[in-house]
């Protein structure tokens, strides 16, 4: 039989990859933030709770969230991320984003699940854009 060919009685079996501990290795897929259109930045319009929708977590997997902010305004301003809820201080991530500095990491791979929602609001409307991605783990 030539190299790279299969005989007519060959069968293909599904393969499950396991780690050294014997447990299956989870699947990872990169996903666009649900509040984004085609992966484009999300403009933070809201200036108070409930914020602009950034992402709704999967109901059946774990989402690892990476968010970056850009302040296109002329002055520094506070950005508030509502991470799964709106309770202060339990669900809030607050960071000051200086003006015209480029991408600033604001959520460094935190996980969320069960359909919880991530929203954002800023001191001024339409000046902060949020970009990012989700590593979906199933």
What's the pLDDT tens digit per position in 31-85? Answer: 999 999 999 999 999 999 999 999 999 999 999 999 999 999 999 999 999 999 9
Give a yes or no: residue 6 inside a domain: no
Structural domain including 50 reads 29-137
Q: Please indicate, yes or no, whether the overall pTM of this predicted structure exceeds 0.95.
A: no
Cα 121 from Cα 12, distance rounded (Å): 52
Query: What pLDDT is attached to residue 7?
Result: 47
Q: Is 110 exposed, middle or buried (0-12, 13-18, 19+ CB in 10 A)?
A: middle
Give a yes or no: residue 24 inside a domain: no
Average pLDDT of the chain? 89
Both structure tokens of 129: 């854009």
Q: What is the count of structural domains for the chain?
A: 1
Q: Does 129 have pLDDT greater than 70?
A: yes
Q: Does 6 have pLDDT greater than 50?
A: no
Cα 63 from Cα 95, distance rounded (Å): 22
Give a yes or no: residue 52 inside a domain: yes
Give 70's strand partners: 129
Q: Does 11 have pLDDT greater than 70?
A: no
Give 65's strand partners: 110, 134
Q: Could you give the count of Cα atoms lying within 13 Å of 85 in the half-sphere of its Cβ? A: 7
Query: What pLDDT is attached to residue 21?
Result: 80
CATH of the domain at 52: 2.60.120
């Amino acid at each position: 039989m030539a190299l790279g060919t299969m005989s007519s009685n060959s069968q293909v079996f599904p393969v499950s990859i396991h780690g050294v501990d014997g447990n299956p290795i989870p699947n990872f897929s990169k996903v666009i933030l649900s509040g984004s259109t085609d992966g484009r930045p999300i403009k933070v319009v809201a200036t108070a709770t409930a914020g602009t929708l950034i992402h709704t977590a999967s109901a059946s997997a774990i989402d690892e969230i990476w968010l970056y902010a850009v302040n296109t305004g002329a002055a520094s301003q506070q950005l508030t991320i509502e991470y799964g809820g709106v309770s202060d201080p339990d669900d809030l991530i607050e960071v000051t984003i200086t003006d015209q500095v480029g991408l600033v990491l604001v959520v460094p791979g935190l996980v969320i699940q069960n359909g919880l929602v991530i929203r954002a609001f800023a001191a001024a409307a339409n000046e902060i854009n949020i970009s990012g991605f989700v590593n979906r783990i199933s």
